[in-house]
Amino acid sequence: MLDAQRAKEVAPAAVFKVRGLRWWIIGLVFLATLINFIDRLTISVLAPVITKQLGLSNLQFASITTWFLVAYAASQALSGKLYDRLGTRRGFTLSILVWSSAAIAHAFARGLASLSCFRFVLGLGEAGNWPGAAKIVSEWFPVRQRAFAMGIFNSGVCVGFIVATPLIVWLQSQFGWRTTFLVTGTLGFGWLGLWLLFYETPERHSAITQEEYSLIAQDRFSSTAVQKMGWLKLLRYRQVWAIVLSRFLTDPVWWLYLTWLPLYLSRVRGFSLAQIGFFAWMPYVAADAGSLAGGWASGRLIRHGWTANRARKTVIIVGAVLMSAGIPAALANNAMVALAFIGVVTFGFQSWINNVQTMPSDFFPSYAVASVAGLGGLGAGIGAILYTLTTGWVTDHFSYTPILIVAGLLPVLGTVILLVLAGPIRPVTIE
């Protein structure tokens, strides 16, 4: 670990200092994540309108989402490597330029092919948000605060859905779905101005205090040399496989509700578009609470003397158990009861994922964190692609019930694999 003396030698000097600067930094990442999900969710919220206007079946709508996920999965791994090479400042700049341009382009779609193309480019850009955020957390936060920091930026996902659903429904009702894409797509360019104005790494940021830099530096790996760790080398570590396989099995649960909830409420529960705007955000309020609660809980346990290994695994297990609420959601006769159970699932997933996404920084030095996080995102994306296509086919031929039941079982399997394969959560020895 870097000691306080080393921190004094590295931390930049400046007249103007900001106390708790790391919380402002993670707030900026939260805002990017919120915009990311508004852009991503626009097509999901408008799915009942777009599928009807363009005459798309469930399987065709799934194929549009699949093109996004193909790009998203591949770009998770590529973006992770890119962020480790270019750094977080330039990496985020490139990501948001790509995804905001693609989001705007949706307004000019004319059919299945063009929508699929624009979703593909959107996936390329949006994927960088997660390995980039994981790297920022590892650079800016001590171990005991990382899961909570993950919770803050990940809550942008949930707030994005809460904000996006009524906003998109209102924009569509007033201006049509094409103008809606134009409005939501421009948000990222405003964020980019703030990013370029205010963000630097801790070593380069002139506003960081000496005390804060010392706090951040105390939990870093002892080696300060930047090494190159390719994917093949990273895949020699069982901890990487534990993250990849667990996310392959568990992340599809999140994508299921993220992609299909509006259509499920419309076609199975009989909701109108206005009712979707009123009610579909509720599971994401629960998800927001889970995002913050999961990060807070593991951090609090660590402050009370628990090891990071015991604290993170406890929260992960609880989250996996909560996600099994997808089974009673499938069987409930009342729509609001089903929606409540779905809220339990989203709460559990966000508490689960916040601690799993912290594990790359628990295991590996900062120069490999984004790459490991990106490989985890690749596994998540492949799992989501397979489950999304399966959902489209099954719902066209049968119903949503088997899909929701299986989704209640997958997180338990994913968590067992994670805990067995990863072993103790502690820094690995880099060869």
The pLDDT-based confidence of 11 (bands split at 50, 70, 90) is very low
Lookup result for tokens 């010392």: 214
Q: Which helix (H) or strand (E) holds 133?
A: helix 129-140
Question: Cα–Cα distance between 104 and 385 in angstroms, integer?
Answer: 24
Burial of 413 (0-12, 13-18, 19+ CB in 10 A): middle
| Tens of pLDDT, residues 304-344 | 889 989 999 999 999 999 999 989 988 888 888 988 999 99
CA distances, 212 to each of 22, 63, 149, 206, 362 (Å): 8, 47, 15, 12, 20
Rounded CA-CA distance 140/158 in Å is 23
pTM for this predicted structure: 0.71
Quick check: 421 pLDDT over 70? yes
Which residues are CB-neighbours of 149 under 8 A, at least 6 positions away?
A: 22, 26, 137, 140, 141, 295
Domain ranges of the chain: 15-222+230-422
Would you place residue 247 in the very low, low, confident or very high pLDDT band (cuts 50, 70, 90)? very high
Q: Quick one: average pLDDT of 260-277?
A: 76
- Residue-level pLDDT at 160: 75
C-alpha–C-alpha distance, residues 22 and 207, integer Å: 10
Q: For 114-126, write each residue's pLDDT tens digit.
A: 888 999 999 999 9
Radius of gyration for the alpha carbons in the chain, expressed in angstroms and rounded: 21
Q: Measure the CA–CA gap between 75 and 123, rounded to whole angstroms.
A: 7
Q: For all residues of the chain together, what is the average pLDDT?
A: 84
Q: Position of tokens 């921190």?
A: 7
Confidence band of 261 (pLDDT split at 50, 70, 90): confident
Q: What pLDDT, in 10s, does the model give residues 178-234?
A: 888 989 889 999 999 999 999 988 888 888 888 888 888 776 654 444 566 677 888
Say which amino acid occupies 79: S
How many other C-beta atoms can be found within 10 angstroms of the C-beta atom of residue 423?
13
Residues 139-164 have pLDDT tens digits of: 888 877 887 888 888 778 777 777 77
Instruction: Using a pLDDT cut of 90, give the percent of the chain over it.
Output: 27
Give the side-chain half-sphere CA count within 13 A for 57: 10
Instruction: Specify whether the CB–CB gap between 60 and 263 falls below 8 A.
Output: no
Does domain 15-222+230-422 fall under CATH 1.20.1250.20? My reply is yes
